[in-house]
């Protein structure tokens, strides 16, 4: 029997819903598995503590004080209305900016000389960016050919950074035990 099945049987036994056949299966497993036996004993101890604990009664005016602290329906409606207005503006502002930009582009498209010069400027910009990228890649290729050890050390340092960042992430994500 797996531990998860034994745990489910323990819960049923605590609730008094365990039939004789399942009760026998649980007893056999508890005799064979010390881990589940410790868990069963701990569950029995917790159940005993909860059954013996005195029942506490809330204060007489607890419900009235709690209801008095709740926000009024008027404030709730105002807050929901403000939220709806913010959501409406959040959707309307980008739409209005898009319409304004489209109207400006429509004015530009009516002037063919301006549109042609705009396309020429974009083409020149793309050509300049392409030249810069080609020069960077060319110089990086020359660096790799001339100084392969530098590239090797850079890769080793990058690997060390990635490994230690993973270690730190694991240490930070683990809960602290006291």
What span, in angstroms and rounded, lies between the C-alpha atoms of 9 and 19?
A: 10
pLDDT for 1? 58
| pTM, to two decimals | 0.33
Tokens of 29: 């497993």
First vs last Cα of the chain: how many Å apart? 33
Instruction: Report pLDDT for 50.
Output: 82
Residue pLDDT tens, the chain, 178 long: 577 888 888 888 888 888 888 888 988 988 998 988 898 898 888 888 888 878 778 788 887 887 777 777 787 788 888 888 888 888 888 888 888 888 887 776 777 777 778 788 999 999 999 999 999 998 888 877 777 787 788 889 999 998 888 888 877 776 555 4
Contact by Cβ (8 Å): 17, 11: no
54: left (phi over 0), alpha (psi -120 to 50) or beta: beta
- The pLDDT of residue 178: 44
Contact 144, 151 (CB under 8 A): yes
């Amino acid at each position: 029997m797996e531990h998860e099945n034994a745990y489910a049987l323990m819960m049923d036994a605590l609730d008094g819903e365990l039939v004789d056949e399942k009760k026998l299966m649980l007893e056999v497993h508890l005799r064979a598995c010390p881990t589940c036996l410790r868990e069963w004993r701990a569950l029995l101890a917790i159940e005993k503590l909860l059954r013996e604990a005195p029942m506490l009664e809330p204060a007489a005016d607890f419900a009235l004080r709690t209801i008095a602290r709740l926000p009024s329906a008027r404030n709730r409606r105002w807050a929901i209305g403000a939220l709806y207005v913010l959501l409406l503006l959040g959707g309307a502002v980008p739409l209005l900016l898009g319409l304004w930009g489209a109207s400006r582009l429509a004015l530009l498209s009516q002037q063919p000389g301006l549109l042609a010069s705009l396309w020429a400027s974009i083409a020149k910009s793309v050509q300049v960016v392409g030249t810069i990228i080609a020069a960077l890649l060319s110089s990086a290729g020359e660096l790799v050919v001339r100084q392969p050890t530098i590239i090797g050390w850079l890769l080793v340092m990058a690997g060390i950074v990635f490994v230690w960042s993973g270690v730190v992430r694991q240490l930070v994500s683990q809960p602290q035990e006291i």
